[in-house]
Amino acid sequence: MRKQPNSRMCFLCGRQNPVGLKLEFYEDEEARLVRTEFSIPEEYQGYPGVVHGGIVAAILDETAGRAVMLGGADENLMATLKLTVRYRRPTPVGTALTAIGWVEKMSSVGAQVASEIRLPDGTVTAECEAILGAVPEEFRARWEAEKPYWKVYQ
């Protein structure tokens, strides 16, 4: 599987963010999925033993959004315009989890994407659908200084 790039300070994938989750994303070309395996520490819980819903939503958003980069389109960054999350059951802290994301529909102006978080037995704890659009130019301009840090880290 091809590893996708990480950034420097992103809360989810930033390698230098001291409070970030440092997620690593891999592509499953055959299945047309992006995947990350992780465990959330208790510092990110809402209710005791349960990952905070905002953290769950952030992971779903990032995983779904990265699906548009499948096949090496690392510069195909988009912004989330709409995110709909469905919490199916509590997502536990300190447990091996897998998030997968995929593209449902791609167009010249955006994409419809989805993702889900699974327990080791495959049970889905949360899922999302999202609409993505082109990143505004002012964001792209600020991105230029960060490009050297957008890379595959070993």
What is d(CA 103, CA 93) in angstroms, rounded to the nearest whole number?
27
The pTM of the full predicted model, rounded to 2 decimals, is 0.95
- Kindly give, in sequence order, each residue whose CB lies less than 8 Å from that of residue 83, ignoring residues fewer than 6 positions away: 57, 60, 61, 128, 129, 130
Total residue length of the chain: 154
For the residues 94-107, what does the mean pLDDT come to? Answer: 97
What are 96's two structure tokens? 């091996």
Note the pLDDT tens digit of each residue in 120-131. 999 999 999 999
Note the pLDDT tens digit of each residue in 31-89. 999 999 999 999 999 999 999 999 999 999 999 999 999 988 777 889 999 999 999 99
Say which CATH class 2-145 falls into: alpha beta
What are 89's two structure tokens? 């059951």
Alpha-carbon dihedral 121, 22, 83, 102, rounded to 10 degrees: -60
